């Protein structure tokens, strides 16, 4: 690590490799490559720049650093043990603006040029990806994905601003009906952000040959969590060498976390074990047919995470129950009185069932923890399992 102090710019470069040689000496068995970054700073005052591994797969060894103060340009050269993704963080010390950038470096002699304009660093919401020039086809793919992501983010922020402006006008005109409608939209708008990013990643994946950048797009958008079917499709179509690489393993690890849930998607639910507070069982298929979507939630009065979800579940139930949505809460409590008390205390709005200890439901659905949930359509087919309530809300917005 070296520190350079100049009248205009302060640069701190840290090149760290999780598996790199601690002493920076090349091992005979490792092939070292060379990378070179030329970062042009526009509009920055005192600045700190750090470069580090985006993932453990990339291995960087400290090497030569040069600063051209007249041009406000920093040149970073280093030895690279493997091509891969590099984090470059540009931090403006004057106003504490942080600009994280991811680039691909392949270790070839050609430099990667980064045009860092502070106006892009201060883009409302999230900093825009800078202009990056490189001879690497993968960097060009990465830039393409980042620009698509940024345009989708801008669309989100533009729409949010428009809705907020409409709400202000409605308040000024005392339009109560419109105020109630727009207030609900504004309050739920933030939940939509991640789905804009997922949409950008999916469009990139559908239009671009599968590569390391495809893996990065899937990881950054958390496709494995929010759309595991797409995640599995991407992983299966990766070239064999990429699947077995560190990056492929990262995606596979994420997919494995949600595999059991994804495998249940498409199955039909014929029965829910349990009785309501009158001691009656329900005919599950009939109950499902009465609604376009039914969310089945398994919970217990002793489960803190379950109780914390109740207010949001109540909001979904109140908003969408008249539009084709039903909520069935199945308790696995060991005590009937505890179950009834928890419903009353938390004002839990749902069709309630209790299966003491949950033995049959746990066996049928392989429940390992609560809360556990799945969303079904009207014929009882599971659409998703354990999806976050934000994802459920997005689905219900179509009602």
How far separated are the first and last CA of the chain, in Å rounded? 56
Buried b (16+ CB within 10 A) or exposed e, 47-78: bbbbbbbbbebbbbbbbebebeeeebbbebeb
Please give the full DSSP string across 84-143, using - where no structure is assigned: EEEEEEEEETTTTEEEEEEEEE---SSPEEEEEEHHHHT-SSSPPPPEEE-S-HHHHHHH
pLDDT of residue 170: 86
Residue 19 has pLDDT above 60, yes or no: no
Domain spanning 284-396: which CATH class is it, in words?
alpha beta
pTM confidence score: 0.64
Written as six digits, the tokens of 379 are: 């014929």
229-244 confidence digits (pLDDT tens): 788 888 889 998 999 8
The answer, yes or no, to whether residue 3 has pLDDT greater than 80, is no
> Is residue 283 predicted with pLDDT exceeding 90?
yes
Element (H, E) at 377: strand 372-377
The tens digit of pLDDT for each residue in 105-147 reads 988 767 899 998 888 887 776 788 999 999 999 999 999 999 9
Domain positions in the chain are 2-129, 144-264, 284-396
Q: HSE on the CB side for 368, CA within 13 Å?
A: 4
What pLDDT does 263 receive? Answer: 60
């Amino acid at each position: 690590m070296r520190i350079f102090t100049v009248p205009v710019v302060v640069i701190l470069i840290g090149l760290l490799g999780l598996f790199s040689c601690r002493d920076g000496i090349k091992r005979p068995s490792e092939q070292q490559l060379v990378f070179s970054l030329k970062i042009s700073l526009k509009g920055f005052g005192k600045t700190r720049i750090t470069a580090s591994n985006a993932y453990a797969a990339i291995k960087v060894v400290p090497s030569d650093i040069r600063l051209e103060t007249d041009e406000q340009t920093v040149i970073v050269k280093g030895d690279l043990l493997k091509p891969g993704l590099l984090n470059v963080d540009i931090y403006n010390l004057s106003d504490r603006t942080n600009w994280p950038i991811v680039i691909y470096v392949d270790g070839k002699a050609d430099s990667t040029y980064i045009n860092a304009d502070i106006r892009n660093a201060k883009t409302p919401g999230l900093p825009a990806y800078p202009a990056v020039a490189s001879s690497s086809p993968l960097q060009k793919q990465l830039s393409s994905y980042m620009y698509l992501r940024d345009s989708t983010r801008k669309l989100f922020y533009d729409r949010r601003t428009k809705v907020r402006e409409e709400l202000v006008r409605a308040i000024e005109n005392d339009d109560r009906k419109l105020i109630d409608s727009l207030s609900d939209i504004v309050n739920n708008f933030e939940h939509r952000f991640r789905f804009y990013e997922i949409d950008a990643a999916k469009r990139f994946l559908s239009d671009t040959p599968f590569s390391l950048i495809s893996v990065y797009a899937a990881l950054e958008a958390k496709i494995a969590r929010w759309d595991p079917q797409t995640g599995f499709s991407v992983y299966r179509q990766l070239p064999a060498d990429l699947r077995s690489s560190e990056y492929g393993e990262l995606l596979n690890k994420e997919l494995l976390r949600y595999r059991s849930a994804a495998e249940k998607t498409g199955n039909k639910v014929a029965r829910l074990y349990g009785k309501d507070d009158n001691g009656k069982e329900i005919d599950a298929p009939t109950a499902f047919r009465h609604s376009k979507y039914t969310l089945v939630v398994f919970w217990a009065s002793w489960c803190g995470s379950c109780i914390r979800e109740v207010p949001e579940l109540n909001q979904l139930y109140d908003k969408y129950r008249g539009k084709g949505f039903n909520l069935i809460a199945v308790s696995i409590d060991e005590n009937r009185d505890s179950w009834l008390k928890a419903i009353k205390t938390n004002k839990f709005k749902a069709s309630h069932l209790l299966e003491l200890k949950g033995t049959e439901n746990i066996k049928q659905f392989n429940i390992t923890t609560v809360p556990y949930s799945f969303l079904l359509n009207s014929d009882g087919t599971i659409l998703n399992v354990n999806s976050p309530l934000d994802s459920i809300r997005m689905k219900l917005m179509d009602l």
